[in-house]
Amino acid sequence: MKTKNFTKKIRNLQIDFSIYDYLPFAILVLNIQNKIIFYNQESDLILKLSTCSEYEFKKLEFTFNSSLNSLGQDKLCSEHKISFNNQTYTYNVFPVYERNLLKYKIIILFENQLCENFCKELNLSLTRENNVLKKIIDSSYDGIYITDGDGKTLYFNDAFIRISGFKREEALGKKVQDLVAQGYLPKSCSWEVIKQRKAVSMTIDYPNGIEGMLSGNPVFDENGNLIRTILNVRDMSELNRLNEELKNATALTASYKQQLKEVQLEFQKNNDIIYKSEAMKNVINLALKVSTIDAPVLILGESGCGKDVIAKFIHDIGDRFKKGNFLKINCGAIPETLLESELFGYEKGAFTGAINKGKFGLLELAHHGTFFLDEIGDLPLNLQVKLLDVLQEKKIKRLGGTKYIPVDVRIIAATNKNLEQMIEQGKFRLDLFYRLNVIQIRIPPLRERSEDIVPLIKHFLEKINKKYKTKKVLSPQSLERLLNYNWPGNVRELYNVLERSVVTTEGKQITLEEFPVNNRNAHDKNTNNLSLPSNKCFENLKLKQFTDLMEKQYIAETLQKTKTLKEAAYFLGIDISTLVRKKQKYGI
């Protein structure tokens, strides 16, 4: 009882230190005479002070007194050891001053076994972290090389071995400047970092033939001392190889694009897709893009502008060209009573006059291919519903049939009518319009792309002359009339006019008088685009002077309407050399 009262009294000497009871380690407070004036609960658990006798307590104070009195003032904060009750303890002393005078000494006490366990745990933890760090460094595809502040090699990863060809025993523990001196390296980036004390980059050709790109960085401590250099090494040979492969792939791609362009141009020529205008270039580019997908396409344009040609072009350059056929139907050319059977087919005995074996519909025959619905605006409303089911469900049912037949077909539709206006009038279904109008291609009329007229004339004349085994050419006046014509029938009308002219012309040259009547007298943009000088301008001119004046004006206007001298000479009916001489003569 006496002991408990004594230790309780010690505990209550300084209540200001009670906050130490909440700390997880043993704390004792000593005065300047090294007398214990406070101990916390953690120290009681270790030293058993609450149960020790007054003698044992005084013995502990004496032990601290002997230990601390032998220390100089500068060693108070150092680590010390004491023995108590057959146990050895480690403690640290922290002096507390008041007005520059030592007032207390705070003891933080540790059991040696606990310290050893803590050190072991700390060592294991550091070892684990060090192994993780090594694994991280080794996982890098780039080489990593680490030295100390003097250039001694501390570590390098497997990637550095692969790039440099070094073995660990050749470099580990050696200074980089010695490796250079011994001929292992032509130069050292790490040594340059040490000398310059800043980041350095360079390339090195290693003995194994690999070119390395090196980036070295210094690491300083808090006092500015260089303690490490970190080197990153990248295999430039691999990058150069990949770059060369990329260049080859790019060149190959460019070659394929050129071949594809040539094939496309040849296809366009064979299918009368001739153009120079920006408007038609946009149409063809859009057709090229949509040829790689299966979305429905709606082609809009006036009659005769080539909607069916663009539809065929989309099919022929797409994936479906090898899988299925291109079939088409003109919705306005077949009676409504027969149109349904043409589209969907029929079973045996479906109606009076039907073939006994039944018949495949065009949609079914276009399986895996493309089906072109020309003049879709003329499709009856009842068939619009059935076509909508084909687009949604990808299956059809024949007339008189009971089962659905799956069809994989791409739908391309075309019309020269205003479908939106027809929707307002109740003549075309809005839902079908949305289904068809996924991708819209509008082909401009020929009058909106006059720059296409000349190449089309040249192409059609060559084709027609080959067909009829003739060599007809246009007179300058005829060409002028064709260029000024409004072309309400578009490209189809141009072809028909040229074909009739070739067939009906007696001589080699197609003159203006031999053009069809409707072309000579109707739809001209300007009945006479060649203006004559006023009477006052030529009343005193000789015939030769007047002829030269008109020739100069006509040549100048022809040159403005054509792209090249060859093309201009062709339509003037003269050689290029003759055209060049006349240009020089008239100063054009």
Kindly write down the DSSP assignment for every residue of 107-171, as one continuous string.
EEEEEHHHHHHHHHHHHHHHHHHHHHHHHHHHT-SSEEEEEETT-BEEEE-HHHHHHH---HHHH
Please tell me the predicted confidence (pLDDT) of residue 220: 92
Mean pLDDT by runs of 10 across the 588 residues of the chain is 48 62 84 87 85 83 74 57 78 81 84 63 76 83 89 89 82 86 82 92 84 89 90 83 83 71 60 82 90 92 92 89 91 86 81 67 92 94 91 89 90 94 93 94 92 90 92 86 87 90 87 64 45 50 72 84 79 80 83
Angle between helices 565-572 and 476-484 (to 10 degrees): 110
Please tell me the predicted confidence (pLDDT) of residue 516: 63
Can you read off the two tokens belonging to residue 396?
Answer: 């059809």
Please tell me the predicted confidence (pLDDT) of residue 378: 92
Which residues are CB-contacts of 568 (< 8 A; sequence separation ≥ 6)? 555, 558, 559, 562, 579
Under DSSP, the state recorded for 305 is S
Please tell me the predicted confidence (pLDDT) of residue 527: 41
The pTM of the full predicted model, rounded to 2 decimals, is 0.50
Please tell me the predicted confidence (pLDDT) of residue 184: 76
Give dist(CA 357, CA 224) in Å, integer.
Answer: 98
Please tell me the predicted confidence (pLDDT) of residue 59: 83
Backbone angles phi, psi at 510, to 5 degrees: -90, 110
In contact, 443 and 299? CB cutoff 8 Å:
yes
Please tell me the predicted confidence (pLDDT) of residue 553: 83
Please tell me the predicted confidence (pLDDT) of residue 1: 38
**How are beta strands 87-98 and 79-84 bridged, if at all?**
antiparallel
Give dist(CA 186, CA 496) in Å, integer.
Answer: 81
Please tell me the predicted confidence (pLDDT) of residue 83: 78
